[in-house]
Structure 1
Amino acid sequence: MPLKHVLGIDHVMVTVRDLDASAAAWKRLGFTVSPRGTHSPHLGSGNYTIMFGEDYIELLGILTETEHNKPMRDFLKTREGVERVAFTTDDAAAGVAELQARGIAADGPVHFGRPVELPGGRVGEAKFNVFRWPLDENPGGLRIFACQHLTRETVWVPEWQSHANGATRIRRVEVLTADPKAAAAHLSRLIDEPASEVEGGWQVPSGGKRADVLFSEAAAFARRYPQAARTGTPPEGLASVVLESADVELTKAALGAEALAHDGAVSVPASAANGIVVSFVPQ
């Protein structure tokens, strides 16, 4: 029976070493980037968001070392990139209970918020309730959690949802793993969505009309992307985010020298996007 309180991928978290420099780099790729957010002293982190219609990309970096952000610091010792993906939940407490009833030791919910600089000089607050799946439940090396947005109006700000490169939504995230079938089955169990074999690997829908998760071996990933795009991706874990574009020619123009055209898609090399391939396909 499908989960009632897990509603598909909400956002992808790109963990970076230099938060402000990374935001500037993504702006050069034609993305509209929100003002920087600062989390609580306990979290010790900050972020920028890249907002689409129903989902988004988050650039996440450390501002102050704390015990809470040690796992992020350990991750950054090895590489930048995507350590976690968030799913939307409409009720974090109910989501925890739902998973625990199925024998999955979900942790939470936890409430937190951060100030938001809004257009026109106003300051609001973004508030969330979150829970996570157990840390050892990480299909293909990908950790997952769920986020309940309590103040969508301070996150999905219309002025931040239009991008010069034409991006409109996340269509797919791609995870490298030595055993795509097993990783897909693992995620399928965690979110109760069916895994199926597709060209290039095994795929799991995240729920509703949100992005799919594609698990691939390195050879299949290499067939999808040229070497120039793949250099810098991890041997395991999330290696590519596929976005829909309203106009691929507009995308090429916005990306300039970073645009790699191939098989009807336009991709940004992982070396220019904090360790992940960012690929654009027609919507």
Structure 2
Amino acid sequence: MLPLDHLPFPTGDLEALTRAFRALGFVVSPRGDYTSPESPDASWTSHGVFLRKGWLDLLHNPQAPADAPVGPRAGLFLTDDLGAAASCLSGFRTHPAYRLERRWKSDLGLPPETFALFDIRERISPLGLAIIQHHYPCHDTLADWFDHPNSAEEIAGLIFGSAEPGPMSSQAACHLDISGFRYWDDAKFKAAFGLCTPQVAVRVRVNSLTKVRATLDVAGIAFVETSDGLHITPPRPLACGFQFFQGLPH
């Protein structure tokens, strides 16, 4: 069963997106660049938010308007053997695999992180899914990047409002750990997160909800608290919700 590895957040304004994540109490890595052997003339600028389990990839998309709303674009699941994962998913249509390398713009004395991945063409969830091979924690990370003021420890899944699992969800659940995906009706989603378009929220397991409350209070970010956790509509340009919960998920 492959675990959720990370969520990419493409944006036309990387600095604004970085400020939004810091306001939520996340430590954001220095700026880096992705390159690909398959596209030697291209590079993609990014920052990372690394948790004990899972991470968020803040990606600059120069074609996107600077004021465009930002949310997770896909969900990538981690494997240590891309070929074996492809064999397990042989009944699913996929796109060809490709490779990436990430290097920080400032030399931190760390090796580059290498990735190999492929996209799944089948509809499993409202977001497209992919399989990625790399080491986690990444070889190019520093220990203090994992200690967040909001005490975040795990990217636990996603919440989708007014949506249903895709037609290949049951088959995918035999290979991908999509147990962290939740499907809420329109009223419940709007009561927790307000008007998010599309209706998607990131689930984050934390060590202390007290630290989350303190972080949000300092940033002046309102939240709705229920038995499921703390729910917020974060600052622009983010246009997705965030659920912070402690302990075992509901």
TM over 0.5: yes
Does the Cα contact within 8 Å between 1:248 and 1:280 map onto a contact in 2?
A: yes
Equivalence for 2:61 = 62
Letter in 2 for 1:143: G
In structure 2, the gaps of 5 or more residues are: none
Residue of 173, 189, 193 corresponding to 1:221: 189
| Cα distance in 1 for residues equivalent to 2:133 and 2:99 | 9
Does the Cα contact within 8 Å between 2:33 and 2:105 map onto a contact in 1?
A: no
Equivalence for 1:197 = none
| Cα distance in 2 for residues equivalent to 1:192 and 1:43 | 36
Superposed CA offset, 1:50-77 (max 9, x none): 11112111112224x5xxxxxxx59x99
Equivalence for 2:76 = 86
Equivalence for 1:12 = 7
Equivalence for 1:189 = 171
| Cα distance in 2 for residues equivalent to 1:277 and 1:23 | 16
Residue of 27, 34, 49 corresponding to 1:32: 27
- Classify 1:140/1:153 alpha carbon distance in 2 versus 1 (closer, same or farther; 3 Å): closer
Letter in 2 for 1:114: R
Equivalence for 1:128 = 115
Letter in 1 for 2:89: L
Letter in 2 for 1:30: G
Pairing of 1:44-123 with structure 2 (within 5 A): 44-63=43-62, 73=64, 79-100=69-90, 103-116=91-104, 121-123=108-110
CA RMSD of aligned residues (A): 2.8
| Cα distance in 1 for residues equivalent to 2:182 and 2:86 | 25
| Cα distance in 2 for residues equivalent to 1:133 and 1:78 | 26
SS at match of 1:23: helix
- Structure of greater relative contact order (alpha carbons < 8 Å, 6+ residues apart): 2
Task: Give how far 1:139 is off.
Answer: 3.4
Letter in 2 for 1:91: D
Task: Give how far 1:184 is off.
Answer: 5.2
Equivalence for 1:241 = 202
**Normalization by structure 2: what TM-score?**
0.83
| Cα distance in 2 for residues equivalent to 1:77 and 1:84 | 20
Letter in 1 for 2:223: L
Percent of pairs with identical residues? 20
SS at match of 2:72: strand
Does the Cα contact within 8 Å between 1:116 and 1:126 map onto a contact in 2?
A: no
Letter in 2 for 1:36: R
Does the Cα contact within 8 Å between 1:33 and 1:49 map onto a contact in 2?
A: yes
Equivalence for 2:18 = 23
Task: Give how far 1:108 is off.
Answer: 3.1
Does the Cα contact within 8 Å between 1:16 and 1:80 map onto a contact in 2?
A: yes
Greater fraction of residues in helix: 1
Does the Cα contact within 8 Å between 2:126 and 2:166 map onto a contact in 1?
A: no
| Cα distance in 1 for residues equivalent to 2:94 and 2:100 | 18
Equivalence for 2:124 = 139
In structure 1, the gaps of 5 or more residues are: 1-5, 66-72, 194-205
1:212 counterpart = 2:180: yes
**Normalization by structure 1: what TM-score?**
0.74
Equivalence for 2:151 = 166
Does the Cα contact within 8 Å between 1:252 and 1:259 map onto a contact in 2?
A: no
SS at match of 1:154: coil
SS at match of 2:187: helix
| Cα distance in 1 for residues equivalent to 2:68 and 2:49 | 25
